[in-house]
Chains A and B, each alone.
Chain A
Amino acid sequence: MLKDITFGQYYDSRSLLHRTDPRLKIFLLILLIVFIFIANNAFSLGFGTLSVISVMLVSKIPFKLYLKNMKAILPVLIFTGVINLFYGSGEELLSIWRLSITTGGVYRAVFMAVRITLLIFLSSALTYTTTPNDLTDAIESLLSPLKFIGLKSAVHTLAMMMTIALRFIPTLIEEAEKIMNAQKARGADLENGRLTERVKALIPILIPLLVSSVRRAYELAEAMECRCYNGGEGRTRMKQMRMAAGDYGVLAAALIICGGITALNILL
């Protein structure tokens, strides 16, 4: 039922990437995406593709899961592909009305599609190998320089908000399920009827859910205050993030990929 919806896609397969410092993973994700877009010929992009495939192999995540993420993005992929077909110069292959498909356009479309696919695969590799909590911790840590420009508490607050939101998703799903059952027991019909009736049928579920969310928020705030929570200042962590030997290995591998792409760009 509702409980089966997974949020945050962490998949525990204990690979090298799972152990890598999440801050490094976020940084390298951005770096590699930039280089995939820098790759401007078939050889450098091909090298990028091979590199991404090896990242996927190293992650020990079933390939099926990567494809699952592609499904959601497929419409965007097709849309950009088709639009790109009509841009670009070169030999005309086909012309429909005032639009024409050229070799240059085909070239661009394929390039764009490959880049977007690689981008999705890489970001999936991040979310599959990193727990949501690690991700928010890493974001907090990476954004910490902002405190020098007067956004001291904002960084921590933002990260805490993300953590709380992620934490409460399963709780609220469970709550929604309970309320749905209670209203069904009172004869509510959630499955049948016209669209307007179905939307109306949501009211008896949404209102109690909203009320209990607000109640939970108050309770949580009180519980946090009881434990002397006063924002991020002076707060230490149970899990310290430190770069380890393996992390430098991952960093070196990523830099080699970047170097390879640049070299192939220049040489060919």
Chain B
Amino acid sequence: MAVLEVKNLTHTYSGNTPFINDAVSRVSFSAEKGEIIGIIGHTGSGKSTLVQHLNGLLKPTEGEIFVDGANIWDNPKEIRKIRSKVGLVFQYPEYQLFEETVYADIAFGPKNMGLEGDELKKRVLETCELIGVKGEYLEKSPFDLSGGEKRRVAIAGVMAMRPEVIVFDEPTAGLDPGGRENVMKIIHDYRAATGATVIIISHSMEDMALLADRLLVMNKGRLEMFDTTENVFKNGGRLREIGLNVPIVTQVFYELKKSGVPVPDDVFTVSRAVEALKAIKAGEKYA
């Protein structure tokens, strides 16, 4: 059974603008346990609006969201319980840090869920282990950390709630390559450790190719494609039409193929590219 199911979700921002525009229009999809879904789309395509519905921060104008088979708006008073089931890490989450110590900040979420005493401590320490924050850091002020470290602590703050579904809105924005890799590794490790479903919004097609099992493509508030990462990236032409692209390595292979080199057209990651090139080289040797 799908952990998360979105049916016909429509959201209209009620503003005093003369343009009545659906930020999200009739989007349906479902996520299975343990899979990683990437959401891509140009700026303003409704990605952020879409994910804010998943934990009940926004109420859909139309449509339903089911978590573990239950409609999350069946009981509006219990909506806070949904937020520990579906964790949401916002863009630039480091701006939400507020406690005196890293430990206390990571403990904020689980405490809100009602965890106390040893259980709370165990939960926080486990999470720190997962994200590689070492002992002495726990007593530091989060405001003394570097940008990348702050980001990791903020992500840990949501992971500490052990959500079954964890959603990231551009988790690597504004980080250096080392920091990006680190955040991607944390996300990967969290899923490996907990079996959670992961949903990531990103503008990096390379990151998506590495991590995502399936890709959800948004265009002007509508669902453009929802398919395996491979099938989506095979549609490079359509992606470019809506302001997106395929990973750079795929673009390189596309050009190679055009100039007559017999390469496969399903190369989306660097490691896959290396394999493909090795195979060609080996083939030439015996030709």
Contact = CB atoms under 8 A, between A and B. Distances in A.
Judged by DSSP, the binding face of A is helix
Contacts of B96: 179, 182-183, 186, 204, 208
A211 interface: yes
A189 interface: yes
A203 B97 CA distance: 11
Interface string A169-202: 0000000001101111111110000000000000
A187 B112 contact: yes
Contact of B83 (A185, A207, A208, A212): A185
A203 B57 CA distance: 20
A185 B88 contact: yes
B160 to A, nearest CB: 9
Nearest to B110: A187
Contacts of B109: 186-187
Interface in B21-77: 52, 55, 57
Interface residues of A, number: 17
A208 B57 contact: no
Given A186-B157, A187-B113, 12 more contacts: A178-B95, A182-B90, A185-B87, A185-B158, A186-B96, A186-B161, A187-B108, A189-B80, A204-B108, A208-B98, A211-B98, A212-B95
A184 B57 contact: yes
B226 interface: no
Contacts of A204: 96, 98, 108
A231 B132 CA distance: 48
Nearest to A212: B95
Contacts of B95: 178-179, 182, 208, 211-212
A53 to B, nearest CB: 28
27 contacts: A179-B96, A182-B93, A182-B95, A182-B96, A183-B96, A185-B57, A185-B87, A185-B88, A185-B90, A185-B158, A186-B83, A186-B108, A186-B161, A187-B84, A187-B108, A187-B109, A187-B112, A187-B113, A187-B161, A188-B108, A189-B80, A204-B108, A208-B97, A211-B95, A211-B98, A211-B143, A212-B95
Contacts of A184: 57, 83
B134 to A, nearest CB: 23
Q: Which of B55, B90, B96 lies at the interface centre, i.e. has the most chain A CB atoms within 10 A of its CB?
A: B96
Contacts of A207: 98
Given A179-B96, A203-B98, A186 B57 contact: no
Q: Which of A179, A184, A187, A203 lies at the interface centre, i.e. has the most chain B CB atoms within 10 A of its CB?
A: A187
A176 B98 CA distance: 13
A185 B86 CA distance: 9
B169 to A, nearest CB: 10
Contacts of B89: 185
Nearest to A4: B16
A188 B143 contact: no
B80 A187 contact: yes
A151 B47 CA distance: 52
Nearest to B81: A187
Nearest to A3: B15
A184 B161 CA distance: 13
B112 A188 contact: yes
Please list the 3 inter-chain residue pairs (A to B) with the smallest Cβ-Cβ separation, ordered nearest first.
A187-B112, A207-B98, A182-B96
Nearest to B58: A181
A186 B112 contact: yes
A184 to B, nearest CB: 6
Contacts of B112: 186-189
A187 B95 CA distance: 16
Nearest to B16: A4
A216 B96 CA distance: 15
A188 B84 CA distance: 10
Interface string B227-260: 0000000000000000000000000000000000
A208 B143 CA distance: 10
B172 to A, nearest CB: 17
Contacts of A186: 83, 96, 108-109, 112, 157-158, 161
A157 B64 CA distance: 53
Interface string B88-126: 111001011110000000001100110000000000000
A186 B158 CA distance: 6
B89 to A, nearest CB: 8
A188 B83 CA distance: 9
Interface in B152-176: 157-158, 161
Interface string B164-205: 000000000000000000000000000000000000000000
B101 to A, nearest CB: 13
A218 to B, nearest CB: 14
Contacts of B143: 211
Nearest to A187: B112
Q: Which of B55, B84, B95 lies at the interface centre, i.e. has the most chain A CB atoms within 10 A of its CB?
A: B95
Nearest to B92: A178
Contacts of B93: 182
Nearest to A185: B88
